Amino acid sequence: MQISRSVMSGTKIAAVLAAGALALTACGGSSTPAASDSGLKLINAGKLTVCSDIPYEPFEFQKDGKNVGFDMDIAAEVAKDAKAELNVVDSSFEAIETGTALTGCDVSISSISITDVRKSVMDFSSPYMDDDLTLVASSSSGISNIDGAKGKKVGVQQATTGAQYAKDKGIDAQQFEDSGLLVQALKAGTIDAAIGNQSVLAYAIKDESNIKRVEDYATGEKLGISIKKGNTAMADAVNATLKRITDDGTLKKFETTWFGEAAK
């Protein structure tokens, strides 16, 4: 959600490599993408392969053995329009935000902030959500603004816009591999505060009486779906789905389900 999220763990390296292997074995060993029933060329025949960094609640996380969340609902709609089965690959956000993940996935849907740096290595869909940054802190920390966070134990997720924002403001923040670990540390009191996207952190602390949202930062971040550079057919298909679910109210329904008023 982000310059954005993590150093690649061994498990997630394996996932990306496995996705790449599937891509090479699709269509009888050919690396040529296979067409879906919709005519869209996919890496794996009959499947829309989506890279996502899990967990990142409420965008993507596992519940009862299934991948769920705001982004997962959107991914399912894209797959439906592509007349393909949804196949989610758990990747590191580092691989996603550098475009590496797209060697083994048709698209990446993982709360990805659209930035000029990222647009140099991948294409993006139309934005589907605005998502600025926020600072949240424990009530006992005494932190009321960004200056008050200096010298305190502040956490960020690695490779995110939150991490970059903290660095730009002169904060030596502790970096966490994923948002789940960041939120755990915040709730456990091993860090005093966290900087990250409003949607994720506001959702994480909504039931925490001793953690408050102290300051928001209007960074103008917009989230998009990343697509391999030059794949205009995929970009057109993804944008058509986003337009459909925006026009018919489905996207708004997803927002209400996963965020309520927490991210407002």
Confidence (pTM): 0.77
Strand-by-strand arrangement of the 154-157 sheet: 174-176, 154-157, 193-197, 133-138, 211-217
Beta-bridge mates of residue 47? 44, 85
Helix (H, G, I), strand (E, B) or coil at 154: strand
Q: Residue 131: what residue type? A: D
The Cα–Cα gap between 114 and 32 comes to: 28
Tens-level pLDDT at each residue, the chain (264 residues): 443 343 334 445 444 444 444 433 333 333 455 665 667 999 999 999 999 999 899 999 999 999 999 999 999 999 999 999 999 999 998 899 999 999 999 999 999 999 999 999 999 999 999 999 999 999 999 999 999 999 999 999 988 889 999 999 999 999 998 888 999 999 999 999 999 999 999 999 999 999 999 999 999 999 999 999 999 999 999 999 999 999 999 999 999 999 985 444
Task: Return the pLDDT at 82.
Answer: 97
CB 259 within 8 A of CB 203: yes
Task: Return the pLDDT at 237.
Answer: 98
- For 56, the token pair is 């990142």
How long, in residues, is the chain? 264
- For 226, the token pair is 């990343």
Burial of 211 (0-12, 13-18, 19+ CB in 10 A): buried
Task: Return the pLDDT at 34.
Answer: 60
Cα–Cα distance list, 198 to 165, 219, 247 (Å): 13, 11, 25
The Cα–Cα gap between 111 and 134 comes to: 15
Inter-axis angle of helices 70-81 and 250-258, to 10 degrees? 150
Q: Where are the beta strands (DSSP E) in 80-158?
A: 85-90, 107-113, 123-124, 129-130, 133-138, 154-157
How many CB atoms within 10 Å of residue 137? 27
Helix (H, G, I), strand (E, B) or coil at 50: strand
Match 């899990």 to its residue by tokens: 54
